[in-house]
Amino acid sequence: MTTMTERNMKIRVTRYRPEQDDKPWDQEFEVPFNRDSSILEILGYIKDNLEPSLSYRWSCRMAICGSCGFMINGEPKLGCKTFIRDYVDAGEIHIASLDNFPIERDLVADISGFVEKLETIKPYIIREEEKPLEDGEYLQTPEELEKFKQFSQCINCGLCYAACPQFGRNPEFLGPAALALAFRYNQDGRDEGNQERMPFLNAEEGVWSCTFVGYCSEVCPKHVDPAAAINQGKLASNIDYGLNLVGLAGGKK
Amino acid sequence: MNRKPYIRKQSPTWWVNKPFYRFYMLREASSVPVFLYGLFLLWGLLSLSQGEASFAAWMEMAGSPASSIFHVIVLAAALLHAYTWFQLTPKIVVLRLGKFRVPDQWVMAAHYLIFVIVSAVIIGSSIN
């Protein structure tokens, strides 16, 4: 039973088929939608009924897997969390692969560089000496958790990288999500790995490539606010520099 | 596997079509008039070092209509620069007093308060 009348929307999809195409091109579709239709569902409709060769990534349909990031009318958004009804006034919807990443095929961005960056900053708890299992967990208080909880909500969707002009200019930049995650572990009271991460933060490709554009925080679907993490990281980097200058931090410069 | 990822280069006009980026560029560009004003003041200092006549000439130039327009532009740029900076401060200044986290608005308000006090002192002392 449908309680909503179905209408049509013009959908323009930027396609790229590496076997045939030298550069991306746009393909248009007329697609029926109702009040509940998300971009992801519309792409499913196109693939099932109009263009079986269309490629795109998705999994959970509920903004937790971070797979379905696209440029939607020029803004980085999750397909599952963006609804056709909000674009009725715009008259058409343009869907393209995430900006600043290479296009693997159609709407599939090659995010492997981003994943490598995540690994670089050692996103796990580092202890100088591991406690034996029988000694139990590493404890923390709710106040300690509060210091980094927000920054741990990242789902690695890459929208912040598509939003970041500094990453677009220099793909070597570690970028919002990786730097936010590094800051998250540095803030974690159970972690003792600061000095292993600071060289990555301190580097030219670390926090200092950020010019606080702030669009990463604007587009983040989980309100992680990576811009805040990076710029608090600049403060930490300055303190680390000062301590190293007088030989107190004991870390690699 | 034969891969052929398509790599896009950032266009020089990347910021033109998005209001968020345009405002960012305006914010960054506001540093240019402020920089020019620094040069302007250095020029005055240089004139002062070259004697009374030279400084009087600089003062007269500083009172010209063109200079007034320049001052209005610099003031607007400096205010925009201050406003955007104050907006960002709570993201960096995170103050915790035990369990209490100082609200963002307080951090911003403190900046505005100091700004107003310092401005009042400077303007007040230059009037006397």
CA distance B32 to chain A (A): 16
DSSP letter (8 states) at residue A215: H
Which ranges in chain A are annotated with CATH 3.10.20.30? 7-109
Structure tokens belonging to residue B13: 């006009």
CA–CA separation, A58 and A55 (whole Å): 10
CA–CA separation, A35 and A31 (whole Å): 13
- One DSSP character per residue, B24-81 reads HHHHHHTHHHHHHHHHHHHHHHHHHHT-HHHHHHHHHHHTSHHHHHHHHHHHHHHHHH
The contacts of residue A144 (CB under 8 Å, 6+ apart) are: A188, A189
Give CATH for domain A112-245. 1.10.1060.10
| pLDDT reported for residue A83 | 97
CA–CA separation, B124 and B128 (whole Å): 7
**Phi, psi angles (nearest 5°) of residue A114:** -65, -45
Please report which confidence band the pLDDT of residue A244 belongs to, taking 50, 70 and 90 as the band edges.
confident
Q: pLDDT averaged over chain B? A: 94
Chain A positions with Cβ closer than 8 Å to B: 16, 18-19, 23-24, 74, 99-100, 102-104, 110, 143, 146-147, 165, 168-169, 211-215, 218, 225, 227-228, 231-232, 234-235
Assess if CATH 1.10.10.10 describes domain B14-74: no
Please report which confidence band the pLDDT of residue A18 belongs to, taking 50, 70 and 90 as the band edges.
very high
Q: Using one digit for the tens of pLDDT, what is the confidence trace for B17-40?
A: 999 999 999 999 999 999 999 999
Please report which confidence band the pLDDT of residue A250 belongs to, taking 50, 70 and 90 as the band edges.
low
Query: Which ipTM did the prediction report?
Result: 0.89
Which ranges in chain A are annotated with CATH 1.10.1060.10? 112-245
Q: Which fold has domain A7-109?
A: Ubiquitin-like (UB roll) (3.10.20)
Q: State the Rg of chain B over Cα.
A: 22
β-bridge partners, A103: A109, B6
Q: Using one digit for the tens of pLDDT, what is the confidence trace for A97-132?
A: 999 999 999 999 999 999 999 999 999 999 999 889
